[in-house]
Structure 1
Amino acid sequence: MKVWAVANQKGGVGKTTTSIALAGLLADAGKRVVIVDLDPHGSMTSYFGHDPDSLEHSCFDLFQHQGVVPEGLPARLLLPTSNERISLLPSSTALATLERQSPGQSGLGLVIAKSLAQLWNQFDHAIIDSPPLLGVLMVNALAASQQLVIPVQTEFLAVKGLERMVSTLAMINRSRKQALPYTIVPTLFDRRTQASLNTLRVLRNSYPEHLWQAYVPVDTRLRDASRAGQTPSQFDANSRGVIAYRALLKHLLAASPATQVA
């Protein structure tokens, strides 16, 4: 199984859309995909019609055993989505309380890695949607993943969020056996605005080795897909956004390291 995390320390940059678009395209290609919603806001969970405020069971359950994941628990938490090849490990608002509970508990940083290890033979890919804050949930996402995708909205403040994310990654890499490779993805690009053009130029000058050289354009069809609860490629396979994500997926698969069991 290939495990990718989608993260940025700024909200509103297209993390959830990127996660679901990539998962949908993988499923279209016949892959079995598990998507993991680690954001307490539960945008990914809500996308597929599940209410993170009222779910009885969620990813929160995985963290309730002092860092040990009971055998079979991750599989019992899986929920369906609009695509039969995509299963969801849902979020709940209870995840927001983890930071208060976690001091003094060892092993919490590897809970998601241990959970995905139990699902290893059931899925070809896992995509983790991370919260926009550095804490135990983001640490879990980065610790479990083999490749990091960093969506960056093409506007000035998003570049500042990217700087924080790259600093966080450097810190995390010091505790990993090998550095986590990452790809920066320009999103919400509007060629009609100077803000988008200037930000894309800054990204290309500042991060030439890690930047995906194309971009995901502003596309209302992505928002329409969200309202319909369908993956973007289910909703409109030929939209500008889906065409861009298809190119991104090809790039990520080519760059993806050899799969190893977590």
Structure 2
Amino acid sequence: MQVWAVANQKGGVGKTTTVVSLAGLLAEVGYRVLIVDLDPHGSLTSYFRFDPDEIEHSVYDLFEQSEVTASKFRSLILETSHESISLVPASTALATLERKAVGKEGLGLQVAKSLRFVREDYDYVLIDSPPVLGVLMVNALAACDHLLVPVQTEFLALKGLERMVRTIEMVNRARKNKLTYTIIPTFYDRRTQASVSSLRELHKLYADQVSNAVIPVDTKFRNASIKGLVPSSLDAGSRGVHAYARLLRGLLERRKQVQVDG
């Protein structure tokens, strides 16, 4: 089982779109996929028509007890509109976690510990993270094998990326195995100088980490979210889906190379 976290310390960069797009593409080639919503806003949960304000049991339950059992974790998993994609939903109660976590130890590994119970059930796990460095993002970073960092191709997003890279460096000082990451340029519009110059700057500053796949502005993403479908199910031929398919090919090739080298 491979775990990918999608994170950035800036909102509105396409994290949830990245999770649902990659999950859909992975599922459509036969992989069993689990998606985990760690964002108190619950965008990923809402995408699949569950209400974060009303849901009775969610990923928040993992933080209410020091030890989580396999049956407890499995009871949180919901089916989605795609038969090969399952969801651990978020609830708005997650917004209270930082305050309640003060003085508690070990909360940073709750998700990693829980995922071990379903290691044989899924091929890929994708985690949607909040845009804030705290207990929830720490859980995502601790649980993942590889980190995906969507970055909107505009100046302020590049400044936000600097904070995320510093966080990765901090995490790597504490991790036994170095956390690798891929930067994904998003909301690209080749007609605007802002997008073109920002993409150029990304490649200049982070050449080895930037994906060759550039995610364009595409209204089909919004149309898919309105229907609660993964983008590739709504329109497999759209520009956005093609871009995510290219991203996925690169990620799978990278994983294969890591396995060969390892």
Q: Same fold (TM over 0.5)?
A: yes
What is the SS of the residue equivalent to 1:209? Answer: coil
Task: Specify the code of the residue in structure 2 equivalent to 1:5.
Answer: A
Counterpart residue number, 1:51: 51
The answer for the alignment partner of 1:15 in structure 2 is: 15
Higher helix share: 2
Name the TM-score, length of structure 1 as normaliser.
0.97
Partners in 1 of 2:19 and 2:70 — Cα distance?
27
Report percent identity of matched pairs: 60
Matched residue, 1:87: 86
Give a deviation string over 1:88-136, Cα, whole Å, max 9, x none: 0000000111100112211100000011101111100000000000000
Residues 1:36 and 2:43 are matched in the alignment? no
For 1:35-184, list aligned pairs within 5 A: 35-66=35-66, 68-184=67-183
Find the counterpart in structure 1 of residue 210 from structure 2. 211
Offset, 1:71: 2.9
* SS, match of residue 183 in structure 2: strand
Q: Given residue 248 of structure 2, which amino acid in structure 1 is its aligned partner?
A: L
- Which secondary structure does the structure 2 equivalent of 1:174 belong to? helix
Once the two structures are superposed, the pairs formed by residues 200-239 of structure 1 within 5 Å of their partners are 200-239=199-238
- Deviation at residue 214 of structure 1 after TM alignment: 2.9
1:204–1:213 CA contact under 8 A, matched in 2: no
Q: CA RMSD in A?
A: 1.0
What amino acid is the match of 2:159? K
1:19-65 CA distance string (max 9 Å, x none) = 11000000000110000000000000000000000000000001111
> Match of 1:170, SS?
helix
Number of aligned residues: 258
Query: Any stretches of 5+ residues in structure 1 without a counterpart?
Result: none
In the alignment, structure 2 segments of 5+ residues that lack a partner are none
Compute the TM-score of the two structures, normalised by the length of structure 2.
0.97
One-letter amino acid matched to 1:19: V
The residue identity in structure 2 corresponding to 1:143 is A
